[in-house]
Protein backbone atom coordinates (compact mmCIF):
# COMPACT_ATOMS: atom_id res chain seq x y z
CA UNK A 1 0.00 0.00 0.00
CA UNK A 2 1.38 3.46 -0.84
CA UNK A 3 2.97 5.54 1.92
CA UNK A 4 2.09 9.24 1.73
CA UNK A 5 3.97 12.24 3.11
CA UNK A 6 2.36 15.67 3.50
CA UNK A 7 4.30 18.50 1.89
CA UNK A 8 4.06 21.28 4.49
CA UNK A 9 4.83 24.07 2.03
CA UNK A 10 1.73 23.07 0.06
CA UNK A 11 -0.70 21.46 2.51
CA UNK A 12 -2.28 22.89 5.67
CA UNK A 13 -1.37 26.45 4.71
CA UNK A 14 -4.53 27.61 6.52
CA UNK A 15 -2.41 27.46 9.71
CA UNK A 16 1.06 28.81 10.56
CA UNK A 17 3.95 26.68 9.35
CA UNK A 18 4.96 25.17 12.69
CA UNK A 19 1.35 24.21 13.35
CA UNK A 20 1.24 22.15 10.17
CA UNK A 21 3.14 19.24 11.74
CA UNK A 22 0.34 18.58 14.21
CA UNK A 23 -2.28 19.20 11.51
CA UNK A 24 -0.66 16.59 9.25
CA UNK A 25 -0.48 14.05 12.05
CA UNK A 26 -4.10 14.66 13.04
CA UNK A 27 -5.12 14.08 9.41
CA UNK A 28 -3.43 10.66 9.46
CA UNK A 29 -0.09 11.33 7.80
CA UNK A 30 2.93 9.52 9.23
CA UNK A 31 5.53 11.53 7.35
CA UNK A 32 6.18 15.02 6.00
CA UNK A 33 8.41 16.76 3.49
CA UNK A 34 9.01 20.40 2.64
CA UNK A 35 11.41 22.34 0.50
CA UNK A 36 13.25 24.73 2.79
CA UNK A 37 13.92 23.98 6.47
CA UNK A 38 16.57 26.67 6.91
CA UNK A 39 14.19 29.39 8.12
CA UNK A 40 13.89 27.60 11.47
CA UNK A 41 16.51 26.18 13.85
CA UNK A 42 16.88 22.44 13.25
CA UNK A 43 16.15 21.78 16.91
CA UNK A 44 12.77 23.50 16.59
CA UNK A 45 11.78 21.42 13.59
CA UNK A 46 13.02 18.23 15.27
CA UNK A 47 10.87 19.00 18.31
CA UNK A 48 7.76 19.37 16.16
CA UNK A 49 8.52 16.16 14.30
CA UNK A 50 8.96 14.26 17.55
CA UNK A 51 5.89 15.79 19.21
CA UNK A 52 3.74 14.81 16.23
CA UNK A 53 5.41 11.40 15.78
CA UNK A 54 6.24 12.22 12.17
CA UNK A 55 9.11 11.12 9.94
CA UNK A 56 10.88 13.70 7.78
CA UNK A 57 11.42 12.13 4.35
CA UNK A 58 12.64 14.90 2.02
CA UNK A 59 13.93 18.46 1.90
CA UNK A 60 15.96 20.53 -0.57
CA UNK A 61 19.60 21.48 -0.27
CA UNK A 62 20.05 25.29 -0.16
CA UNK A 63 18.94 26.70 -3.49
CA UNK A 64 20.49 30.17 -3.39
CA UNK A 65 18.39 33.31 -3.11
CA UNK A 66 14.81 32.46 -4.06
CA UNK A 67 13.69 36.09 -4.35
CA UNK A 68 16.56 36.74 -6.79
CA UNK A 69 15.43 33.91 -9.05
CA UNK A 70 17.72 31.14 -7.84
CA UNK A 71 16.24 27.65 -8.10
CA UNK A 72 19.27 25.67 -7.03
CA UNK A 73 23.03 25.93 -7.52
CA UNK A 74 24.29 22.57 -8.74
CA UNK A 75 24.25 23.38 -12.48
CA UNK A 76 25.20 27.04 -12.22
CA UNK A 77 28.73 27.77 -13.49
CA UNK A 78 30.73 30.10 -11.29
CA UNK A 79 28.96 29.14 -8.06
CA UNK A 80 30.72 25.86 -7.37
CA UNK A 81 32.23 27.01 -4.07
CA UNK A 82 28.84 28.25 -2.87
CA UNK A 83 27.28 24.92 -3.76
CA UNK A 84 29.92 22.90 -1.96
CA UNK A 85 29.66 25.12 1.11
CA UNK A 86 25.91 24.46 1.13
CA UNK A 87 26.53 20.82 2.00
CA UNK A 88 27.41 21.82 5.57
CA UNK A 89 23.92 23.13 6.49
CA UNK A 90 22.37 20.35 4.42
CA UNK A 91 24.10 17.71 6.49
CA UNK A 92 23.40 19.54 9.74
CA UNK A 93 19.68 19.61 9.06
CA UNK A 94 19.59 16.06 7.70
CA UNK A 95 21.14 14.75 10.91
CA UNK A 96 18.94 16.82 13.20
CA UNK A 97 15.74 15.89 11.32
CA UNK A 98 16.84 12.27 10.76
CA UNK A 99 15.99 12.71 7.09
CA UNK A 100 17.59 10.22 4.70
CA UNK A 101 16.82 11.92 1.36
CA UNK A 102 17.87 15.36 0.09
CA UNK A 103 16.92 16.94 -3.24
CA UNK A 104 19.85 18.60 -5.00
CA UNK A 105 18.35 21.34 -7.16
CA UNK A 106 20.03 22.06 -10.48
CA UNK A 107 19.10 25.70 -10.89
CA UNK A 108 18.21 27.90 -13.85
CA UNK A 109 20.07 27.77 -17.15
CA UNK A 110 20.37 31.47 -17.94
CA UNK A 111 22.00 30.99 -21.35
CA UNK A 112 21.27 27.95 -23.54
CA UNK A 113 24.66 28.43 -25.18
CA UNK A 114 26.26 27.48 -21.84
CA UNK A 115 24.37 24.17 -21.47
CA UNK A 116 27.45 22.02 -22.02
CA UNK A 117 29.38 23.98 -19.39
CA UNK A 118 26.43 23.83 -16.98
CA UNK A 119 26.16 20.08 -17.46
CA UNK A 120 29.85 19.61 -16.69
CA UNK A 121 29.50 21.66 -13.49
CA UNK A 122 26.32 19.77 -12.59
CA UNK A 123 27.99 16.37 -12.90
CA UNK A 124 30.98 17.45 -10.80
CA UNK A 125 28.75 18.96 -8.11
CA UNK A 126 26.48 15.91 -8.02
CA UNK A 127 29.48 13.63 -7.50
CA UNK A 128 30.62 15.85 -4.64
CA UNK A 129 27.16 15.97 -3.03
CA UNK A 130 26.51 12.23 -3.42
CA UNK A 131 29.79 11.43 -1.68
CA UNK A 132 29.32 14.01 1.09
CA UNK A 133 25.78 12.87 1.86
CA UNK A 134 26.64 9.18 1.69
CA UNK A 135 28.99 9.59 4.62
CA UNK A 136 25.97 10.61 6.73
CA UNK A 137 23.65 7.90 5.39
CA UNK A 138 21.67 10.37 3.27
CA UNK A 139 20.69 9.78 -0.36
CA UNK A 140 21.03 12.57 -2.93
CA UNK A 141 18.21 12.82 -5.48
CA UNK A 142 17.59 14.92 -8.58
CA UNK A 143 14.18 15.86 -9.97
CA UNK A 144 13.12 16.83 -13.50
CA UNK A 145 10.91 19.95 -13.27
CA UNK A 146 8.80 21.53 -15.99
CA UNK A 147 9.88 24.96 -17.22
CA UNK A 148 6.49 25.82 -18.72
CA UNK A 149 5.16 27.49 -15.56
CA UNK A 150 6.48 29.51 -12.63
CA UNK A 151 5.58 30.49 -9.09
CA UNK A 152 1.98 30.68 -7.94
CA UNK A 153 1.01 34.33 -7.75
CA UNK A 154 -0.27 35.04 -4.25
CA UNK A 155 0.58 31.49 -3.19
CA UNK A 156 2.43 30.36 -0.11
CA UNK A 157 6.22 30.56 -0.11
CA UNK A 158 7.98 28.05 -2.37
CA UNK A 159 4.79 26.84 -4.06
CA UNK A 160 5.14 26.66 -7.82
CA UNK A 161 3.57 25.09 -10.88
CA UNK A 162 7.00 24.86 -12.48
CA UNK A 163 10.31 26.70 -12.72
CA UNK A 164 11.03 28.83 -15.76
CA UNK A 165 14.44 28.04 -17.22
CA UNK A 166 15.10 25.05 -14.94
CA UNK A 167 18.06 23.01 -16.17
CA UNK A 168 16.70 19.47 -15.65
CA UNK A 169 13.38 18.76 -17.34
CA UNK A 170 12.99 15.17 -18.58
CA UNK A 171 13.24 11.71 -17.06
CA UNK A 172 15.55 10.46 -19.83
CA UNK A 173 17.81 13.47 -19.22
CA UNK A 174 17.93 12.69 -15.48
CA UNK A 175 18.67 9.01 -16.09
CA UNK A 176 21.52 9.87 -18.47
CA UNK A 177 23.03 12.28 -15.96
CA UNK A 178 22.80 9.76 -13.13
CA UNK A 179 24.61 7.28 -15.35
CA UNK A 180 27.34 9.83 -16.10
CA UNK A 181 27.77 10.79 -12.45
CA UNK A 182 28.22 7.07 -11.74
CA UNK A 183 27.78 7.26 -7.98
CA UNK A 184 25.60 4.74 -6.18
CA UNK A 185 24.29 7.41 -3.80
CA UNK A 186 22.60 9.49 -6.51
CA UNK A 187 18.98 8.53 -7.23
CA UNK A 188 15.90 9.87 -8.98
CA UNK A 189 13.08 11.92 -7.50
CA UNK A 190 10.10 11.73 -9.85
CA UNK A 191 7.11 14.09 -9.67
CA UNK A 192 4.15 12.70 -11.62
CA UNK A 193 2.76 16.21 -12.05
CA UNK A 194 5.84 17.45 -13.91
CA UNK A 195 6.20 14.25 -15.90
CA UNK A 196 2.60 14.38 -17.11
CA UNK A 197 3.08 17.95 -18.33
CA UNK A 198 6.37 17.21 -20.06
CA UNK A 199 6.13 13.60 -21.19
CA UNK A 200 2.84 11.82 -20.50
CA UNK A 201 3.05 8.00 -20.58
CA UNK A 202 3.38 7.94 -16.79
CA UNK A 203 3.01 4.19 -16.41
CA UNK A 204 5.83 3.57 -18.87
CA UNK A 205 8.00 6.22 -17.22
CA UNK A 206 7.51 4.68 -13.77
CA UNK A 207 8.32 1.21 -15.07
CA UNK A 208 11.46 2.39 -16.86
CA UNK A 209 12.71 4.56 -14.01
CA UNK A 210 11.79 2.41 -11.02
CA UNK A 211 15.30 0.98 -10.39
CA UNK A 212 16.56 4.55 -9.89
CA UNK A 213 13.59 6.07 -8.06
CA UNK A 214 14.02 7.01 -4.39
CA UNK A 215 11.07 9.40 -4.01
CA UNK A 216 7.81 10.17 -5.85
CA UNK A 217 5.47 13.16 -5.68
CA UNK A 218 1.91 13.64 -6.87
CA UNK A 219 -0.54 16.40 -7.85
CA UNK A 220 -3.39 16.81 -10.27
CA UNK A 221 -2.93 18.12 -13.82
CA UNK A 222 -3.78 20.84 -14.70
CA UNK A 223 -3.52 23.25 -11.77
CA UNK A 224 -1.42 21.20 -9.35
CA UNK A 225 -4.46 20.56 -7.15
CA UNK A 226 -5.64 17.38 -5.39
CA UNK A 227 -4.66 14.15 -7.17
CA UNK A 228 -8.29 13.21 -7.80
CA UNK A 229 -8.74 16.38 -9.90
CA UNK A 230 -7.66 16.38 -13.53
CA UNK A 231 -6.37 13.99 -16.15
CA UNK A 232 -4.08 11.64 -14.20
CA UNK A 233 -5.55 8.30 -13.09
CA UNK A 234 -3.76 8.04 -9.76
CA UNK A 235 -5.61 4.94 -8.47
CA UNK A 236 -4.19 3.08 -11.46
CA UNK A 237 -0.68 4.42 -10.77
CA UNK A 238 -0.88 3.54 -7.07
CA UNK A 239 -1.81 -0.03 -7.99
CA UNK A 240 1.01 -0.10 -10.52
CA UNK A 241 3.55 1.04 -7.92
CA UNK A 242 2.37 -1.73 -5.60
CA UNK A 243 2.70 -4.21 -8.46
CA UNK A 244 6.23 -2.98 -9.19
CA UNK A 245 7.20 -3.27 -5.53
CA UNK A 246 7.88 0.42 -4.88
CA UNK A 247 8.26 0.85 -1.11
CA UNK A 248 9.38 4.49 -0.93
CA UNK A 249 7.39 7.56 0.07
CA UNK A 250 4.93 9.45 -2.09
CA UNK A 251 4.94 13.17 -1.36
CA UNK A 252 1.65 15.07 -1.59
CA UNK A 253 2.98 18.22 -3.22
CA UNK A 254 -0.27 19.76 -4.40
CA UNK A 255 -2.23 22.96 -3.84
CA UNK A 256 -5.57 22.27 -2.16
CA UNK A 257 -8.48 24.07 -3.76
CA UNK A 258 -9.82 24.88 -0.29
CA UNK A 259 -9.07 23.71 3.22
CA UNK A 260 -6.62 20.80 3.14
CA UNK A 261 -8.81 18.41 5.17
CA UNK A 262 -11.76 19.05 2.87
CA UNK A 263 -9.78 17.77 -0.11
CA UNK A 264 -8.47 14.53 1.39
CA UNK A 265 -11.31 12.33 0.18
CA UNK A 266 -8.94 10.69 -2.30
CA UNK A 267 -6.77 9.46 0.61
CA UNK A 268 -9.41 8.02 2.94
CA UNK A 269 -8.90 4.47 1.70
CA UNK A 270 -5.28 4.83 2.85
CA UNK A 271 -6.26 5.96 6.37
CA UNK A 272 -5.71 9.68 5.75
CA UNK A 273 -8.35 12.37 6.19
CA UNK A 274 -10.79 10.02 7.89
Contact predicate 7/34, CB 8 Å: yes
Contact predicate 246/213, CB 8 Å: yes
Known catalytic residue at 82: no
SS3 30: coil
Query: Would you list the DSSP string of 157-192?
Result: TT-BS--TTBS---HHHHHHHHHHHT-TTEEEEEEH
Alpha-carbon distance of 5 to 49, in angstroms, equals 13
Which of 114-150 are b and which e, b meaning 16 or more Cβ less than 10 Å from the residue's Cβ? eeeebbebbbebbbbbbebbeeeebbbbbbbbbbebe
Known catalytic residue at 143: yes
Residues in the chain: 274
Contact predicate 188/211, CB 8 Å: no
Distance of CA 44 to the CA centre of its chain: 22
Q: Is the dihedral of CA 32, 36, 42, 48 positive or negative?
A: negative
Catalytic residue of the set 19, 143, 199, 269: 143
Catalytic residue of the set 33, 119, 226, 253: 253
Closest alpha carbon to 39 in 8, 69, 79:
8
Query: What pairs with residue 251 in β-bridges?
Result: 5, 217
Alpha-carbon distance of 114 to 140, in angstroms, equals 25
Q: Which residues are catalytic?
A: 143, 253
Amino acid sequence: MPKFAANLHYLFTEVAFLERFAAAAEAGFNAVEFQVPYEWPPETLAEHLEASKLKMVLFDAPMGIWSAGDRGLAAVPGREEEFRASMEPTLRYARALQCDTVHIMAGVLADEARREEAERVYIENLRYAAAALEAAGVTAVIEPINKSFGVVQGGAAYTTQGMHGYFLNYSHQARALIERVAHSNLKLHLDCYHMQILEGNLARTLRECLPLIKHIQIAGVPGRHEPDVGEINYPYLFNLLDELGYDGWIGCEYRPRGRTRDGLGWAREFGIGC
